[in-house]
């Protein structure tokens, strides 16, 4: 089999969990392919994309939107989310976005179905966008809150979802009111992420038994929000699952294989706890 080359394009890329995860899949499945991280400055993105010998790439912060200009085609997922995290090179470069699938598969494997139910999303950055699009796909009743309310409103407008997503203030009172009858709570902010551990984006007192709490943050594995949710008897889902499932979807697109999900999770967890 002809070895193929894959990589992660970001800045900074640091110690890449994606490289560890994909390399492990190739080893596990006896595939000769390779995956490595490339630290590419914004000013160098275009030339990197145009001259790289890669067969496929994942794209991460800060290039997910900028890279859209440098591919010839956008898959529906990239058009919906308005960002690209996966590129297929070849005759034509095609941009995809697997973050939405990563999110929905993370819910499905925990048998969480937000269809027709109330969901609260906290944060209005890049991670929020894919999650909002995914939740709208389920026809969930979505409420969005963000420290900077104007950014939440701008995001809803950009998604053309003014009649589908309600924006509320980010303060303890309005969070408490909204969480009274919320089934799924999704944190997409960086609150609680290493090194700022110990903080949660919502007061613990607003959480209730029976709710599902999804934290897109995966470092640390047990964020303050996840710890609070566990104490309150909520079902919890870690950002590790979304990382794994978006990576698995990229592999399906590049290679038409069905990757070993548990092996990928184990590899990420190994790299997080070491
Ligand atoms: P990403 O692309 O990973 O989503 P981002 O675009 O930098 O990251 O977005 C970070 C999100 O975390 C934003 O919603 C940000 O809120 P603002 O829009 O008000 O900046 C949110 N965030 C970061 N630090 C926060 C904090 N201390 N409290 C509340 N929200 C915070």
Please, which pLDDT band fits residue 14 given cuts at 50, 70 and 90?
confident
Which is catalytic among the residues 64, 93, 105, 265?
Answer: 64
Rounded percentage of the chain residues whose pLDDT exceeds 70 = 100
> pTM (2 decimals)?
0.95
In the prediction, which pLDDT does 244 show?
Answer: 98
- Nearest 5 degrees, angle CA 259-CA 265-CA 271? 125
In the prediction, which pLDDT does 15 show?
Answer: 83
Per DSSP, which regions of 1-136 are E strands? 5-10, 34-39, 56-59, 73-74, 86-88, 94-96, 118-122
Please say if the pLDDT value at position 68 is more than 60: yes
In the prediction, which pLDDT does 104 show?
Answer: 98
Mean pLDDT for the stretch of residues 61-67: 95
Please, which pLDDT band fits residue 91 given cuts at 50, 70 and 90?
confident
What is the overall mean pLDDT for the chain?
96
Q: Examine the residue annotation and report whether 64 is marked as an active-site residue of this protein.
A: yes
Measure the CA–CA gap between 234 and 205, rounded to whole angstroms. 12
Among 10, 65, 125, residue to substitute to test ligand 1 (most atoms within 8 Å of Cβ)? 125
Among 190, 197, 225, residue to substitute to test ligand 1 (most atoms within 8 Å of Cβ)? 190
242 class by beta-carbon count within 10 Å (0-12 exposed, 13-18 middle, 19+ buried) = buried
């Amino acid at each position: 089999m002809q070895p193929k080359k894959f990589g992660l394009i970001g800045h900074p890329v640091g110690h890449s969990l994606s490289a560890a995860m994909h390399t492990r899949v190739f080893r596990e499945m006896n595939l000769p392919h390779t995956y490595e991280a490339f630290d590419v400055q914004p000013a160098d993105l275009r030339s990197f994309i145009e001259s790289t010998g890669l067969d496929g790439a994942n794209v991460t912060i800060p290039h997910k939107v900028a890279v859209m200009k440098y591919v010839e085609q956008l898959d529906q997922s990239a058009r919906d989310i308005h960002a690209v995290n996966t590129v297929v090179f070849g005759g034509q470069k095609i941009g995809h976005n697997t973050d939405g699938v990563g999110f929905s598969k993370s819910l499905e494997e925990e048998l969480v179905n937000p269809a027709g139910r109330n969901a609260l999303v906290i944060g209005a950055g890049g991670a929020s966008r894919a999650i909002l699009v995914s939740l709208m796909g389920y026809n969930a009743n979505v409420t969005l809150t963000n420290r900077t309310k104007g950014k939440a409103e701008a995001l809803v407008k950009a998604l053309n979802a003014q009649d589908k997503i309600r924006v509320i203030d980010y303060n303890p009172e309005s969070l408490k009111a909204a969480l009274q009858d919320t089934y799924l709570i999704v944190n997409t902010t960086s609150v609680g992420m290493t090194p700022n551990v110990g903080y949660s984006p919502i007061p613990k007192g607003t959480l209730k038994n029976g709710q599902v709490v999804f934290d897109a943050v995966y470092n640390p594995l047990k964020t303050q929000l996840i710890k609070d949710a566990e104490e309150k008897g909520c079902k919890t889902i870690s950002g590790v699952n979304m990382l794994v499932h978006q990576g698995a979807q990229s592999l399906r697109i590049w290679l038409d294989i069905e990757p070993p999900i548990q092996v990928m999770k184990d590899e990420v967890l190994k790299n997080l706890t070491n």
